[in-house]
Structure formats: structure tokens, C-alpha cells
Chain A
Amino acid sequence: MKRIKDTIKKVLLLGSGGLRIGQAGEFDYSGSQAIKALKQEGIRVVLVNPNIATVQTDQGAADTLYLEPLNLATVTKIIAKEKPDGILLAFGGQTALNLGLALEAKGVLKKYGVLVLGTPVASIRLTEDRELFKRALESINIKTPFSFAVTTTEEAMRSAKKIGYPVMLRAGYSLGGLGSGKISSEQELKTRAAEALHNAPQILIEEYLAGWKEIEYEVIRDKSDTTLAICNMENMDPMGIHTGESIVVAPSQTLTNKEFHQLREVSLAVARRIGLLGEGNVQFALNPKNGDYRVIEMNARLSRSSALASKATGYPLAYVAAKLAIGKRLAEIPNSITKKTTSCFEPALDYIVVKFPRWDLIKFQAASRVIGSEMKSVGEVMAIGRSFPEALQKAVRMLNIGGSGLTDYPHTIADAPDEIGRATDRRLFAIYQELRSGTSVATIADWSQINPWFLEQLASVASFEKKLRRSKLTTELLRSAKHYGFSDKAIGQLRRRSEESIRQARLTAGVIPAIKQIDTLAGEFPAETNYLYTTYHASEHDIAPSQSKPLIILGSGPYCIGSSVEFDWCAVNTARTARALGRQVVMINSNPETVSTDYDESDRLYFEELTLERVRDIADFEGADGIVVSVGGQIANNLALPLARLGYALLGTAAESIDQAEDREKFSSLLNKLNIDQPDWEKVSTAPKAESFARRVGYPILVRPSYVLSGAAMQTIHSPEKLAEYLRSEGIISQEHPVVISQFITNAKELEIDAVAAHGQVIIEAISEHIENAGVHSGDATIVLPPQRLYLETIRRAKQITRQVAAALKISGPFNIQFIAKNNDLKVIECNLRASRSFPFVSKVTGYNFIDLATRVILGEPLPQRTFETLELDYVAVKTPQFSYSRIKGADPVARVEMASTGEVAVIGKNYLEAFYKSWQATEQFVIGKRLLVSICNTHKPRLLESLRMLAELGWELYATDGTHEFLTNNGISARFAKKASEGEPNLLDLIQNRQVDLVINIPNGSARHGLSGSDGYQQRRATIDHQVPLITNLQLAELFLRCLIAFHNTTLPARPWHSYITHLN
């Protein structure tokens, strides 16, 4: 038999597109590993992924890269052009899987002779269709929940009656459980089933298993039927809470040997029955009262859980899965940690792993904090320790939500029992608060359904906290505090002492964390790889300090809104350049969805907290040469000043300069000194001062707290009444917490410069322009490079300011400056002396790796003596934000000053319109027909008039609400009248629900308060999102988008590889 390996020379790999809730950075990890695995075998890789911020889309990763939309039409074109021998569907999440199924169903793969590598399509379909899956499992006597697959609301109601309420509603073919939930009544089912059936052809009504333990097994299988369970995981939050929303431990903690191995055996049987070839996971519900089980589902692809399992065990699942897909056997693939044994084994852990989801619900006004069977978290952290409290408290610190452990969660939860019972994003803290005040484990177990084992562990922390407050702080007590995972800061707070004095006492007493290796075999074989964590439950280090003084790179920490895969890209590229220059690299990061936590990306990987305490522990142990704080985003950046003050050497720009840019007052006086304009602003600590400032500069104004990332709690305020309300309701103004108020300039443009400087001299810069007017957060803005509509004078002036600032702050390394431009008036909004979120974008669009240059600068390496052309490009690139509004029920889907997007995509095109249109499509929105619903606030109506007229002429069917309808009719454009929700039924909500429109343009008045759940506009926008109809809410985007619809009427856009644009690299 001919081996697959010999016939497959070129493979098409589908990525996962923009990061969104339910599909995030984990697929950069899995795709990157797949590329490595295939290239080692001499196979050429063609990658399609518009996510420009990923490591997998780097030059030198795939042989051919397409930054193109992941849709059927585009990928079909790419297949026709590239003629790959095989395709991988399992490495790009649900996006890649669904696209692969579509390509197969349409006969594209057959037509071009493309072989699906890994798990066959028939098997995938078996796992994706719940009824087929259930029947397949029944055929081998494996239990699944009592359930019915239905396609109509009526069927759903009948089935629920048979099972009895409450029932579980599940939607098929969707990522992250969208549309799923507990249904308690007939009435509720009617609404929810209808909604879910809009998004999926089929839904499932099933037995309600809330309170059962939720367990997951990661399974891998090769062509010779060797089937392994690499890792099992237990959700602390039982069934009823989505696994992406649960605190998860690995390995399982409360399962007996019998249960552990029974479920393992079932998961292997499922993998065999389905015909898995590669990686997948099987989810179980396990009855805590009698050990009965149900198989909930199987994913026949890499997933968030498999990324977590890889990091938790050290077993590189994605890498191995790629090798299996091309026909390798497990026993032929070396174990990359021991280098002595093979990949045919199941890891044994000698530590405990805790995954904690990172939510950002506060960023979405009007969004509910209740968590359940739909995923809302935007990221996660993974903590490793040798006891549950140690790992859990580490995880809490890693989240970067203000607490340095369980004891100092910064908010008091008013109704803790309620938040425990309903489950909110801060349930753990509510539980701890209750335990501390004496509520019993049994009571909390009753409220939460959480297994008492976990609660007892938490109770032990609470009772130790009491002891720690009262008893004498002996060495023994200090050591115990560390065993329980208390930070120096938390101990200090409980003892009314400073963090530093606790640290010094601890070091004097010799209480230091031990550094342990993750070796996949619990010490049975020596590890060759330095994948490390720290623990206090130990008596010795596994390793000695690095031989030559390493540099330490601080990674991004958890993904959240405003800090995402782009900072992982920066950290990975810094490490790669530094290692290429012969430096020893230590990486610290806490985020399992990253490439920087692949242990082959650094010389030593510490899967650890990015806290002052832990960074110091590691730096002290390693005798670090310097710390890089400028490539991990804001968490790393915030450590700059504290580290520098304690005498740790930072590489790159000095900490004082970073502070000068971060501290609003210092930065402002610097700008004044340099004669650079800025919007008027003032830091005020009383309401009257705020009001007098607003009177002086005029409304609207922008209000925000200092030192924030992505404008948390930032708002524009349009009237004195609203200002008074804001200051009252937020309760944030005080002497300790002053509010920064600034002038808000309307009808202005925003632009930004990403640059690298050496000793104050700019060596490369790129100017990007925001398509939306000022008022949309830079992370939510659509960005074009090179700029398309800026005056030369503006560009010249922006460059000049950049040079001035770089020189004044003596910048050495990456930085970013944001500007606001009105006419030729240029004001600086902010300046960050670190890599910004657009670094991968400008690097890949210009073809010059800004991080590579920045790394050379901070390491003092010689720089290329040349200039870099980043403005006069023969092409245009547009970066578009990826939103996850459909996940956040209730959130108003309008981009404002507060960042809400969860990811981004970028596409390069021959011209502005082409790049913009494809970039928009790359966010996986599809306009499938020619029916448009428009609703535009008065001031903006004329701007869209001509485009709407042309669309009507091109055969578009227009629907419009009252004012817009009147306006169009008066201008001779025929449009159908659509009632607003408040105007009676049937109305536009019916149009949207029944998908009688293919696109909705709803431009709210800039001054309307968002999240006002009663308003017609809000209801319309929300319904559009909930029924997955494309929505545009910004005037500039709408103008451009309508131009695209006209320009590309009856035109298909070509797909071109990245390297065809970036000719200077060829």
C-alpha cells in the first residue's frame, strides 16, 4: 500500500478566522503546530486564514498564505488555483469544519481530487448530527441523554412534554453552544426553539442533567487503531454551565478509579465507533449519586479543550494529530519532552491544573452577568500547582481582575446566594464570601450543585485565612500560607503589612517557590524540555538556573477585550528573533490558548502568573539579563515601573519614559513642552469640577478612569443631565479615584502610527487610518493601511510629532501613537511605549517585521542601514474588527468609545474597496440576497441617498422605517415601509425573524444612550444580531459598504496569496 505521506505533497489548511467568543486563540496554537508537523515531513502547506494577528500567518510558517475570507466561494477559488493533494479540517475550529463539510457537500473536493486528511467527512457528520450520533452510540450500547432531534417548534413542544420539564434545548452545528439553554416552561420553549431554529436546521430537546458532574476526555487515534485518552478534565461547575464557562481541573479530582477508567473506556469506544483519525474529545455527564453516565457530545476536531489538555499535560495534541492525519502511527512519533519515549502513551500528571475563564461582561452595557449553557467568556488562564488552593489562587491572580487571590476580590457581592444559585461570572467569589461568613459547605453545595470536594477545599482556604489573620506569623505559618496559594500581597493585606515586607520576611526564612518540570510522565523518565511551573509544595528545584543569563519575555496573560492574540504574536516573534540572535529566552505566560506557551518557542517556558511577585521569583532564580515588558500588552507594561523601581533591568525604553507616557499629567505636560496639541482634558475628583470643565469645553465630553486598557467604563456624554447621572450611577468619582474628562471632537478622523525607535530615533513607522470617525475605540475601528483619505500635510505632521515624541521619551523599542485629525488640525490622543495591537497588521501588510526590528533594538544588535517604504504601497489592506455580540445577550451592537470587539481580520486587495469588502466578508458575514432594511438617523440620511438610489436601480429591494421611508420616497426612491416595534405588528422584527431581509443598516444618533433596552433602534439591532443577519451601524462603514455593493455587483473578487503583494520579499 502506498503511504499517504508519499502521495501528499501539498496540503490546504483552513484556519479559524477572527477571534470570537467560543473560537479564540487556541486555533492559532493548533494551526501553527500542524504547519510545523507537516513541514517536517516535507509537505507544502497552503493556509487560508484572514486572522493577520496570528503566528500561523507569519512569513516562514505556511508555504503559501491566503489572508482571505473563509467562505465557500473564496476557498473554492483557492483550491482551483493551488490544487492541493489534501485538506485539513480539524485545526481551524468550527469555522474550518463547517467550511470543509460545505466543500465536500458541493463536490469541490471531489472535483479537484482533494483528499480529506484525518477524520473522514462521514465521521465528522456523525458527530455533528446529534440524532445520527445518538444512534451510532446506541449501536454499541453507550448511553446518551434521553432526547429528541426536532426541526419545528411544534415537534419541540411535543418532545418536551414526553420528557417532562425542565428540558435542555441544544442547537446543532454551532460553536460554543449558541442558542442552547434550560427551558422550564412551554411558553419559554416556544420562543427559544423558534430562535434557535433560525440559526440551525435542527435542535435537540433533551433530558435535563444539571448537577451531574461534567467530565471530558481528549482522545487520539491512529490508523492502526491505537486509541489513547491523553487527558481527562473535570468541571468544577457541573452540567448546566458550558465547559467554556466552567472552572475546570485536570486531571479529574472526584472520580474513583472505576469511574475514571469506565469513562475512558467509553470515550475510546466512541472514537472507534465514529472512526476518528486524529484528535477529538468526548464529553460526559456523570451522576454524582450513583455513577450513571451519559455521553453528551463528541468533537472530532481540535478544540479549546484540546489546547488546554496539551498545555496541561505537555502532550502536543495538535502536532501529533497532524502527523496522524498524514498516516503516521503514534509509536513512530517521538515524545517531544522526554525525547526517549514515543507519543504512544497517556500522560501521568504529578500536579493539578486549574483553568479559569476570563469574562469581560462589564464591557457590554446591558449585558447579563448570568452564565449558563452558552459561552460568554473571552479568554482563560491556566494555573499549575500541587494543591487545589495553590493552583486556584494562582488562577485568580492570573485573571488580572483586581484580586491577588480569593481574599481580596475587590467587590462586595450584595446578594451572594443569588449569584451562587443562578451562577454569574463571579460565582467563585460569592462562594468564598459566603464560606468566610460561615455558610456551610452543604448549603452552598445545595445552592450551586458544585461537588462538596471543591467546596471543602475552598472552605479550607477560608479557615486558614482566619488563622493567618490572628496567629503569629511564624515561618511555618508563612509556608502554610504559600501552600494555600496566598500571595505576598494578600498576606500583607491580612497582616496590615506591605507586600515587600512579607517578601523580605519570606526570603529571609527561605520560603521560596520550587521550580518543577512538566514532563508528561510524573518523573518516571527524565525530561529534556524545560516546561516549568512553580510550587511551594516541594523541597527542591528540578532544574538549575540557566547557564547563560537569559532574557525574560512577559507574555500577554489571558485574552480579554483589548488584549488578544496580537500580543501573543508579538511575544513569539520577540522570542524567535532573540533566539536567532543566540540569546537564551525565558517566556512567562498564563494563557493556554497561545503559541508562546508552546515549549519549543523558548528555552524555558514558565507557565506562570504575570505578577510582580512571580516575575521577581523567576528573575531572581534565573539571574536574568533583562526583562522585556513591551510586547505582552498592558499587563506586562504595567509591571515596568514596579520592576524597574526594585532594580530589575528592563530591556528597551526606560521605565520612567513608560511612566511619562502612561501618566496622563506627565504626558500632557510633555506634549505642552513639545508644542504638540491634545484634546482639552482635566482630572477631576468632584462632580462640580467635572461639570465646570464640561461647561468650558462644551459637550460631548469623554469620561474615563486613569490607567486603563481599552477604555473600560469609558463613555461619551452629551448633556449636563447625562453627566450628572454618570457621576452618580457609576459612583466612581472620589479623591482616590478621580475621573479624567476630555473634550470629544466630533466629525474628526483618527489615525495612528506604529513605530520602532532606537535611542529616540524612529527607524520604521507605519501610518494607518480609521475608516470610522473618531468616537469608535481604536480596537473596534476598521483600519486601512496605507491611509486613503488623509491630507499629505496631516501625514507629514503626524510623522513629525512621532519623531518629536520618540526623541523626547528616548524610546528604544516598539511604540504606538494615536491621533485625531480635523481638517489639518492634529491632536495626540495617546501614546503607548509598547507594541500595540496593530503590530502584526502593519508588519504583515508592509512586509517588514516591526517586532523583529524592535527586538534587535532592545538587544542592542546592529540594525539594517536602510529606510522602509510603508506608505507608497501598490495595494491596500483593511483590518476589520470581529465582534461577538451574538454571544452576549442584551448587548447593544454599536461600536463606541468602549472596546467591544473580540478579534480582528485583515485582507489585502488591489484597491481600497476590494480590500474593505473582502475584509468585511472575512468576519464571516454574508449578504445572501438583495433585500436591505435601512433605518438612519436624520443627520446622516443625505449621506447615503445616492448609494441607496443606485442599489434600487440594481434591483435591490429596500425596506425602511418611518423617517427614512419618508426621506427615500420624497427623493423618488421606492421603499417598503417597515413598522418599528413600538408601532404595532407586524413590524420589522418579523422581517428580521423570518429572514425577509439580507442586510440591515441601522445608524443610531451618536448621542443616543446605548443599551437602552426599550428603544426601537436597540430592539432592531439586537434582533438582527440574534437572527444572524448582517448589520452595519456606523455611517462611514455604511457609505463604504454600499459603494462596494454597487461596485462589485455581479463581480466575483479574486483570491490572491499574500506573497503576491509583498513583492520586496520575493
Chain B
Amino acid sequence: MTMQASSLLLKNKTVFPGWSPAWQKNKVFSGEVVFNTGMTGYVESLTDPSYTNQILVFTYPLIGNYGVPGPRRWESKKIHVSGVVVGSAVETWNHYEGRGSLTSWLQSQQVPLITGVDTRALTRILRGHGTMPGAIVSHAKGAPRLPIFNDEIGTDLMKAVSIKRPRIYGSGPKKIIVVDCGMKENIIRSLLRFPVTIKRVPYDYDYTRESFDGLFVSNGPGDPADCRATIEILQKALSLKNPRPIFGICLGSQLLAIAAGAKTYKLPFGHRGHNQPCLELNTGRGVVTSQNHGYAVDEASIPVGWQVTYRNLNDGSVEGLAHATQPFFSVQFHPEAAPGPTDTKDLFEKFFALL
């Protein structure tokens, strides 16, 4: 692919020179710059809706080795990140499932790329200063144009990535409502391993008057505190006379916590990677989890009746919650993996058993 000189500019004025595909011309692409330490899984990450409006930095230096498979292996219908930063974008890919190169896939979806970046140096800045806005700027015509950085993440992210109208999957005896806040496809695949009927609904859909056996709240982008519509409906679900089992993942976990009365806060640089260790508090067993989140539940704000079930071994943050008596539980990490380790995939079984 023809490349041209380009830069990644950070809000704190740091400039990382690199190379971008010529098709990007001199356009400016901005977003919140975040890093992920996974060594595989770029296809899954790029199609994860939770990365909406974010420029994703891969700390592993060689990205694109196995090309890009067909859409059936993606985590949603398209690439959601606003930009991709890599050490080196490998074009000579090889894999039996591959259908094309990473660079041509990005081009086909008009997602900008910058390669040749010292992603370790960049990561160290983000670790020190926290994630920050940035932009990929090509130097097609002389000096780069300085973009205007916006700290606002945007509040209508979920609307953009959630399903537009309900959709049914499967035909099993148990009925699950799945609230799509920007869900990864592998959650649907994981739930469909059980004899269930899934009704996947938009983030603001009120299901509380319908009959269902279980409720699932998905991952998604942005600040959980902004998701008032979803939270209000969840609060109704929590206070149903005959409460149904509820399972939340990632953003879904934060929304459940807020609905129950807890608060969330922004982590300095988030947890994005496939090697996040968590302690399963009831067994004392450590598990390795896949994570992608910038916010966390504030432990001090957790209401009576709820308990912490998993804790992050690196920074002690809350990774899982459960109600002491009701069948409500959630995890901050991604048991559906894709990308990342599958240590906690049994949680789907646990959910099904509660139905």
C-alpha cells in the first residue's frame, strides 16, 4: 500500500511521526487515544463497538500477521474504532481463514491507520497522563493541520452502536432479553450454546412488562453514568416483584451497579488487554481475563445487599458483583473472550443455570 508521512498528535502536544496510507490524504481523524496490550485479536478489537470514538493503539508491534477473515468472525458488522496506531502493519499476511490484509480492510471501511509509531513510548505517556484526545494527521500537503481536541466523549455513542429494533435469535425454551448497548457478537454466540430464545433489544427498550426468564446487559462504549435510559429500565427490572436473573458484562456491569445505587469513576488509562488477572473471591482462584473498559465501579458506593465477587489483582478494582440473595450478577471483564482468554466462559453456564 502506498504510504505517506503522517503524525499522531496528542492533546498534550506530543507528536509521534509515522506513515499512513495515501488514501487518508490530509484528513484529520480524532478520538480518545487508548492502548490495548493483547498480542492477538486485532480483528475482534477493531470490530468491538465499545471502542467507538477511540483511536486504538496496539502495544504488540506486529499487527496484521494473519490478515482479516470474513465478517462471520467479526464482533460486529464493521470497524468501530476511529483510528489505528501500530508499530508495524504487516501486509504479507498468511492464514487459511484470511480474506485480505489489515491495511486494505481499514481502507475499505475508511478507518485511518498510522504505522511506524513507537507504541511503547506512546503507551508510557498514556499510562502516565491517562488516556487523552488525539488525532491522526497526514502530511499530504506540507505541515500538519492542528486539530481541535475535544474532551467530550459524546453522550449518544450507545445510540449509534445499539441495535435499532429488536431481533430474535434461537428457539429454545428459555427466553432471554439481551440489552444491546453496543454488544460483541461473541456474547450472542456464547448464549446460543444453550437452549434459549434471545430477544436482542435496543439500549432504551423497555422490556419490564414482557415475560422473560433472564436479562442480559451487554458491553458498550462511553461513560456509564450517561446511559440514563438503560439505567432507569434496569432499575425497574431490579425491583420486579418476581425478579428474573440478571447478568451484566463490562458496561452492562457498570449499568447494573448504577441501577442498584452504586457509582462509577473513570480509570486513569483503563484496562485494555488480554492478561488482566482477577481473583475469584469465593474460591481464591486466579483467572486471566480479557478487558476493555475505561470506567470502574466505586467499591465504597456499593449498596448493602451486593458483594464484590472478583477483584483485579493489579490495581484492586472491582471486577465482579453479585447480589447476596437475588440472582443478579455481573462482571467487568469479558467472559465471552474474542479476543482474549476463555478462563471465565463458564459464567454463561452459571447464568443459564439460574434461568
Q: Is the CB of A452 within 8 A of B94?
A: yes
Cβ distance A659 to chain B, nearest Cβ, rounded Å: 41
Complex Cα spacing A795 to B118, Å: 62
Chain B residues whose C-beta falls within 8 Å of the C-beta of A388 in the assembled complex:
62
13 further contact pairs, Cβ within 8 A, besides A329-B284, A352-B62, A522-B120: A224-B283, A226-B286, A253-B65, A257-B38, A257-B40, A291-B97, A331-B277, A341-B313, A348-B38, A349-B60, A350-B119, A350-B123, A524-B269
Complex Cα spacing A522 to B164, Å: 38
**0/1 per residue, B32-44, Cβ < 8 Å to A?**
0001011111011
Chain A residues whose C-beta falls within 8 Å of the C-beta of B342 in the assembled complex:
261, 264-265
Complex Cα spacing A387 to B118, Å: 12
Chain A residues whose C-beta falls within 8 Å of the C-beta of B121 in the assembled complex:
538-540
Q: Is the CB of B37 within 8 A of A521?
A: yes
Residues of B286-314 at the interface with A, using a CB-CB cut-off of 8 Å, are 286-288, 313-314
Complex Cα spacing A60 to B127, Å: 41
Q: Is the CB of B313 within 8 A of A350?
A: no
Chain A residues whose C-beta falls within 8 Å of the C-beta of B343 in the assembled complex:
268
Contact A257-B43, Cβ < 8 Å, known A344-B313, A524-B123: yes
Whether a CB of chain B sits under 8 angstroms from the CB of A1066 is no
Q: Is the CB of A346 within 8 A of B283?
A: no
Complex Cα spacing A346 to B286, Å: 11
Chain B residues whose C-beta falls within 8 Å of the C-beta of A164 in the assembled complex:
none
Q: Is the CB of A522 within 8 A of B273?
A: yes
Contact A537-B118, Cβ < 8 Å, known A256-B40, A257-B43: yes
Q: Is the CB of B123 within 8 A of A522?
A: yes
Cβ distance B10 to chain A, nearest Cβ, rounded Å: 13
**0/1 per residue, A530-548, Cβ < 8 Å to B?**
0000000111101000000
Q: Which residue of A lies closest to B92 (CB)?
A: A456
Q: Is the CB of B95 within 8 A of A345?
A: no
Chain A residues whose C-beta falls within 8 Å of the C-beta of B97 in the assembled complex:
256, 291
Cβ distance A66 to chain B, nearest Cβ, rounded Å: 37
Q: Is the CB of B37 within 8 A of A261?
A: no
Whether a CB of chain A sits under 8 angstroms from the CB of B177 is no
Whether a CB of chain B sits under 8 angstroms from the CB of A254 is yes
Chain A residues whose C-beta falls within 8 Å of the C-beta of B73 in the assembled complex:
258
Q: Is the CB of A387 within 8 A of B314?
A: no
Q: Is the CB of B275 within 8 A of A290?
A: no
Cβ distance B276 to chain A, nearest Cβ, rounded Å: 8
B-to-A contact residues, CB < 8 Å: 16-17, 35, 37-41, 43-44, 59-62, 65-66, 69, 73, 87-88, 92-97, 116, 118-121, 123-124, 127, 269, 273-277, 279, 283-288, 313-314, 337-343
Cβ distance A312 to chain B, nearest Cβ, rounded Å: 12
Complex Cα spacing A350 to B37, Å: 8
Chain A residues whose C-beta falls within 8 Å of the C-beta of B43 in the assembled complex:
256-257
Chain B residues whose C-beta falls within 8 Å of the C-beta of A225 in the assembled complex:
283, 285
Which of A254, A347, A514 has a CB less than 8 Å from the CB of B65? A254
Complex Cα spacing A345 to B269, Å: 19
Contact A330-B286, Cβ < 8 Å, known A261-B341, A537-B61: yes
Chain B residues whose C-beta falls within 8 Å of the C-beta of A342 in the assembled complex:
277, 313-314
Contact A453-B37, Cβ < 8 Å, known A253-B62, A539-B16: no
Q: Is the CB of A537 within 8 A of B87?
A: yes
Chain B residues whose C-beta falls within 8 Å of the C-beta of A253 in the assembled complex:
62, 65
Q: Is the CB of B62 within 8 A of A387?
A: yes
Chain B residues whose C-beta falls within 8 Å of the C-beta of A351 in the assembled complex:
61
Size of the chain A interface, CB-CB below 8 angstroms:
60
Q: Is the CB of A345 within 8 A of B313?
A: yes
Chain A residues whose C-beta falls within 8 Å of the C-beta of B69 in the assembled complex:
256
**29 pairs from A and B in contact (CB 8 Å cutoff):** A226-B285, A228-B288, A255-B40, A257-B340, A261-B40, A288-B96, A290-B96, A331-B277, A331-B284, A341-B277, A345-B313, A346-B341, A347-B275, A348-B60, A350-B37, A350-B61, A352-B62, A386-B87, A451-B94, A452-B94, A453-B66, A453-B92, A453-B94, A522-B273, A523-B37, A524-B314, A537-B61, A537-B116, A540-B121
Whether a CB of chain B sits under 8 angstroms from the CB of A707 is no
Q: Is the CB of B60 within 8 A of A228?
A: no
Whether a CB of chain B sits under 8 angstroms from the CB of A15 is no
Cβ distance A436 to chain B, nearest Cβ, rounded Å: 17
Contact A348-B37, Cβ < 8 Å, known A523-B59, A523-B127, A537-B61: yes
Q: Is the CB of A514 within 8 A of B118?
A: yes
Q: Which residue of B lies closest to A338 (CB)?
A: B314
Which of B35, B61, B124, B275 has a CB less than 8 Å from the CB of A352? B61
Q: Is the CB of B124 within 8 A of A346?
A: no
Q: Is the CB of B66 within 8 A of A348?
A: no
Complex Cα spacing A457 to B16, Å: 25
**0/1 per residue, A385-398, Cβ < 8 Å to B?**
01110000000000
Chain A residues whose C-beta falls within 8 Å of the C-beta of B66 in the assembled complex:
254-256, 453
Chain B residues whose C-beta falls within 8 Å of the C-beta of A330 in the assembled complex:
286
Whether a CB of chain B sits under 8 angstroms from the CB of A516 is yes
Q: Is the CB of A256 within 8 A of B95?
A: yes
Complex Cα spacing A228 to B285, Å: 11
Q: Which residue of B lies closest to A445 (CB)?
A: B94
Complex Cα spacing A224 to B279, Å: 11
Chain B residues whose C-beta falls within 8 Å of the C-beta of A525 in the assembled complex:
127, 314
Q: Which residue of A lies closest to B42 (CB)?
A: A257
Q: Is the CB of B340 within 8 A of A522?
A: no
Q: Is the CB of A289 within 8 A of B119?
A: no
Q: Is the CB of B275 within 8 A of A346?
A: yes
Chain B residues whose C-beta falls within 8 Å of the C-beta of A258 in the assembled complex:
73, 338
Q: Which residue of B lies closest to A232 (CB)?
A: B39
Q: Is the CB of B273 within 8 A of A524?
A: yes
Cβ distance A561 to chain B, nearest Cβ, rounded Å: 35
Cβ distance B88 to chain A, nearest Cβ, rounded Å: 6
Cβ distance A527 to chain B, nearest Cβ, rounded Å: 10
Q: Is the CB of A523 within 8 A of B314?
A: no
Complex Cα spacing A134 to B341, Å: 25
Q: Is the CB of B92 within 8 A of A542?
A: no
The 8 A-B pairs with the shortest beta carbon distances in the complex, nearest first, are: A456-B92, A257-B41, A226-B286, A523-B123, A348-B37, A522-B37, A344-B286, A539-B118
Cβ distance A9 to chain B, nearest Cβ, rounded Å: 26
Of A224, A350, A524, most B-chain CB atoms within 10 Å? A524
Whether a CB of chain B sits under 8 angstroms from the CB of A260 is yes
Which of A222, A345, A542 has a CB less than 8 Å from the CB of B277? A345
Q: Is the CB of B61 within 8 A of A387?
A: yes
Whether a CB of chain B sits under 8 angstroms from the CB of A1013 is no
Chain B residues whose C-beta falls within 8 Å of the C-beta of A516 in the assembled complex:
120
Which of A260, A265, A345, A542 has a CB less than 8 Å from the CB of B275? A345
Cβ distance B344 to chain A, nearest Cβ, rounded Å: 11
Which of B35, B286, B340 has a CB less than 8 Å from the CB of A228? B286
Contact A524-B127, Cβ < 8 Å, known A264-B341, A331-B279, A347-B275: yes
Complex Cα spacing A268 to B120, Å: 30
Cβ distance A454 to chain B, nearest Cβ, rounded Å: 9
Residues of A352-381 at the interface with B, using a CB-CB cut-off of 8 Å, are 352
Of B39, B69, B275, most A-chain CB atoms within 10 Å? B39
Q: Which residue of B lies closest to A351 (CB)?
A: B61
Q: Is the CB of A224 within 8 A of B285?
A: yes
Whether a CB of chain B sits under 8 angstroms from the CB of A734 is no
Cβ distance B322 to chain A, nearest Cβ, rounded Å: 20
Q: Is the CB of B120 within 8 A of A542?
A: yes
Chain B residues whose C-beta falls within 8 Å of the C-beta of A459 in the assembled complex:
92
Cβ distance A920 to chain B, nearest Cβ, rounded Å: 48
Of B96, B275, B279, B283, most A-chain CB atoms within 10 Å? B275
Q: Which residue of B lies closest to A262 (CB)?
A: B342
Cβ distance B2 to chain A, nearest Cβ, rounded Å: 16
Cβ distance A504 to chain B, nearest Cβ, rounded Å: 25
Q: Is the CB of B286 within 8 A of A348?
A: no
Q: Which residue of A lies closest to B128 (CB)?
A: A526
Complex Cα spacing A329 to B40, Å: 28
Chain B residues whose C-beta falls within 8 Å of the C-beta of A452 in the assembled complex:
92, 94
Q: Which residue of A lies closest to B17 (CB)?
A: A539
Q: Is the CB of B120 within 8 A of A456?
A: no
Complex Cα spacing A435 to B332, Å: 49
Whether a CB of chain B sits under 8 angstroms from the CB of A847 is no
